[in-house]
């Protein structure tokens, strides 16, 4: 008799992906991605989700640990218009962008509907608390079991994980920027044992109201990066990596 729980069967169903610079990027849209995350949450194991933008791919070229994390993640989404373009260029598939901020918001919605426990880690002191307050208004009933700011040294990762673990979060959202958040998740997954852990970049700044998301029209014109650059000129270093990403993709496709 087959006693495999249906959720595990669903999880094992092949994830449709496209190869971008050796990383399997999911081609699911946002709705299907949230369903896949729900499958992850109905198992007992831990899962890492990466929302990868062009700068992450470029950084991974010179950071082998990050590249290995991208390759071994359970789900890698196309976080930026650049990665959506790369999938089209390399495989001919038209996929939709699944940004970290949209996916994190939808996972919070899912958590409120299904009773999953959420922990928010990262951003400056006070921001995760404000994000939690606003998420509780937007998703009534959501169980945010704890928050913590993201300014601590790498040497304290295990200590911070040991503080989080007793709260037994199902979902861990880590907003500490690439690659710090991905490294934290990989180093502490076996301590915290959240079923889904995801790096969410500046999402807590957006959820808290500190940073305003680009208007829908700007997003539709694929110019969200310009909006973010105007809000935070410090991001210019990140945007400057885009031409390198384009070159890497064109060379990979040959």
Q: Which residues bind ligand UDP (CB under 6 A)?
A: 122-124, 150-151, 175-178, 180, 201-202, 204-205, 238
Is the CB of 41 or the CB of 121 nearer to ligand UDP?
121
Alpha-carbon radius of gyration of the chain: 18
Is the CB of 180 or the CB of 187 nearer to ligand UDP?
180
CA distances from 246 to 93, 113, 206 (A): 17, 40, 28
Q: How far is the CB of 178 from ligand UDP (least distance, A)?
A: 4
Is the CB of 41 or the CB of 200 nearer to ligand UDP?
200
Q: How far is the CB of 1 from ligand UDP (least distance, A)?
A: 47
- Beta strands 143-148 and 23-26, pairing class: unpaired
Residue 144 CA from chain centroid, whole number: 18
Q: How far is the CB of 175 from ligand UDP (least distance, A)?
A: 5
Dihedral sign computed on CA atoms, order 202, 206, 207, 210: positive
Q: How far is the CB of 176 from ligand UDP (least distance, A)?
A: 4
Helix H segments across 179-223? 180-192, 203-208, 216-220
Q: How far is the CB of 124 from ligand UDP (least distance, A)?
A: 5
Name residues whose C-beta falls within 8 Å of residue 36's C-beta, 6 or more positions apart in sequence.
Answer: 11, 15, 26, 28, 75
Is the CB of 41 or the CB of 198 nearer to ligand UDP?
198
- Residue 93: half-sphere exposure toward Cβ, Cα within 13 Å: 18
Is the CB of 153 or the CB of 166 nearer to ligand UDP?
153
């Amino acid at each position: 008799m087959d006693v495999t729980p249906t959720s595990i069967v669903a999880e094992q169903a092949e994830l449709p992906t496209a190869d971008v610079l050796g990383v399997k990027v999911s081609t699911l849209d946002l709705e299907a991605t949230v369903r896949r995350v729900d499958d992850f949450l109905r198992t007992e194991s831990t899962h890492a989700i990466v929302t990868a933008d062009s700068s992450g791919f470029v950084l991974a070229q010179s950071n082998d640990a990050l590249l290995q994390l991208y390759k071994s993640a359970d789900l890698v989404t196309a976080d930026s218009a650049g990665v959506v373009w790369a999938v089209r260029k390399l495989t001919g598939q038209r996929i939709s962008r699944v940004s970290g901020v949209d996916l994190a918001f939808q996972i919070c919605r899912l958590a409120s509907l299904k009773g999953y426990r959420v922990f928010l880690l990262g951003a400056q002191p006070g921001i995760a608390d404000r994000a939690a307050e606003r998420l509780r208004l937007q998703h009534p009933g959501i169980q945010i079991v704890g928050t913590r700011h993201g300014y601590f040294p790498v040497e304290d990762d295990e200590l911070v994980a040991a503080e989080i673990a007793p709260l037994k979060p199902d979902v861990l959202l880590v907003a500490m920027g690439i690659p710090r958040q991905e490294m934290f998740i990989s180093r502490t997954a076996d301590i915290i044992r959240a079923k889904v852990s995801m790096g969410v970049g500046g999402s807590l700044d957006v959820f808290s109201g500190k940073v305003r998301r680009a208007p829908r029209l700007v997003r539709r014109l694929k110019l969200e990066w310009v909006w973010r650059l105007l809000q935070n000129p410090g991001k210019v270093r990140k945007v400057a990596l885009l031409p390198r990403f384009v070159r890497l993709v064109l060379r990979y496709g040959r």
